[in-house]
Amino acid sequence: MKKQILSTTYNLSLLARLGLPEVVQPEVSKIVDELFANMFQTVIDNELETEIRTVKTRIYAQDKRGAFKTKIFKKKQKIVVADIIRGGMTPSHQYFLKLSYLLDPKLIRQDHIMAQRIETKEGVNGTSLMASKIDGSINGAIVIIPDPMGATGGSIAEVIDHYQKNFGKAKKYVVINLVITPQYIKRLSKIKAPISLYAARLDKGLTKTDFIWPGLGGVGEMINNTKK
């Protein structure tokens, strides 16, 4: 597994703001959107295929020197963006739209997966994959999974296992999180699939009930305004 922690001062400053008790909607979503947008360029620069193309500018019609060779993203790439409901709904759709502008939109799709941690008084006891809307094979595709928090790794592991057992062999899985733990990294490193992991911050670990500390405090609840 490849991993990269994008702990820039900009990202860390936004995360510091996001974790404050007084920060509520709509600012929560604005910060989450900005963080994922800021990470997008690094992710695609590292993970998407490129090619050398000759581009004819508007000047070309008047002067044949108005053309140049440059590196661009290869248009024909099969991409699947997986939305893990509910925290991943907004960032996954953002990435789906951005990739549809850059690449051939006919080869870009968005899947929807409802996965939920099974929580007990003792902590997290596995993951329940409740439902999914997956539009067929992922053979040869880059599967991109943007999801705010990476705590135990159970949800991501369950989603990747579901894809592998039922929908073919992906070229690779690209997982993008805001905050992750050492336990999360360890869990993902055991998955038998090519994985690239990106995160804006690596936190200390998990509490006794498997929540991230210091963490941000229930990002899924904050995004959906359901925190009690």
The percent of residues above 90 in pLDDT, for the chain, comes to 83
Bond from prior residue into 214 cis (ω within 30 degrees of 0):
yes
Q: What pLDDT score was predicted for residue 125?
A: 56
Give the residue from 151, 136, 158, 141 showing the smallest Cα distance to 184: 151
**Higher pLDDT among residues 117 and 86, named by residue:** 86
Q: How confident is the model at residue 121 (pLDDT cuts 50, 70, 90)?
A: low
- 128 beta partners: 116
> Which of 111, 101, 56, 95 is CA-nearest to residue 75?
101
Token pair of 50, please?
């490129």
The mean pLDDT value of the chain amounts to 93
Domain extent listing, the chain = 2-224
Whole-angstrom distance, CA of residue 188 vs CA of residue 27: 31
Residue 124 pLDDT greater than 60, yes or no: no
pLDDT, tens only, 135-179: 999 999 999 999 999 999 999 999 999 999 999 999 999 999 999
E-assigned strands of 140-227?
142-146, 149-150, 172-180, 195-202, 205-206, 212-213
- Tell me which of 3.40.50.10470, 3.40.50.2020, 3.30.1490.20, 3.40.50.300 is the CATH number of domain 2-224: 3.40.50.2020
Contacts of 100 (CB under 8 A, 6+ apart): 108
Reported confidence tier of residue 120, pLDDT bands at 50, 70, 90: low
